[in-house]
Amino acid sequence: MAMRLHLFAGLRVRNFQAARAWYERLLGEPTFFPHAAEAVWTLAEDRSVYVVEHADGAGNCVVTIFVDDLDARVAAIAARGIEPDGRETYSNGVRKVLYRDPDGNEVGFGGAPLEAGS
C-alpha cells in the first residue's frame, strides 16, 4: 500500500546568498524560506527542491527533474541568464539537460523523446 508523502530533494551550497541568486535564475522565485540559510521551491504538488547552506557537503548533490516541456524550460532558464553545461539523449530518446551551480552541484532537467519529425 502506497503512503502519502512529500519529496524534498536537497542541494547543499557553500554560500546561501550567492547560491540563492543562481537558483532563482534557474528555478524562479522560491516558495518559502524555512530559515535564513535555506530556500524551498515547490515544483509540483508534494514535490520540492531546497537549497541549504552546508559548506562541508557543497558540490556533491545530484537532482533530476522530469518536465512536460523540456525545450520551453531550457528556453525560460536561458532567458534568465543560465545556459546548460551539457545535454544527453539516451538510447530510448529521453533527453536530459544538465546545469551545474557554482559549487558543482548538478541539476538536470529531463524530457520525453522528441516525436518523429520534430
Q: The domain containing residue 97 runs over which residues? A: 7-111
| pLDDT at residue 51, as a whole number | 98
CA–CA separation, 112 vs 22, rounded Å? 26
CATH number where 35 lies: 3.10.180.10
pTM: 0.89
Quote the mean pLDDT of the chain.
94
Q: What is the pLDDT of residue 2?
A: 75
pLDDT digits (tens, 9 = 90+) for 49-103: 999 999 999 999 999 999 999 999 999 999 999 999 999 999 999 999 999 999 9
In a domain, 28, yes or no: yes
Torsion on CA atoms 22, 23, 26, 32, rounded to nearest 10: -140
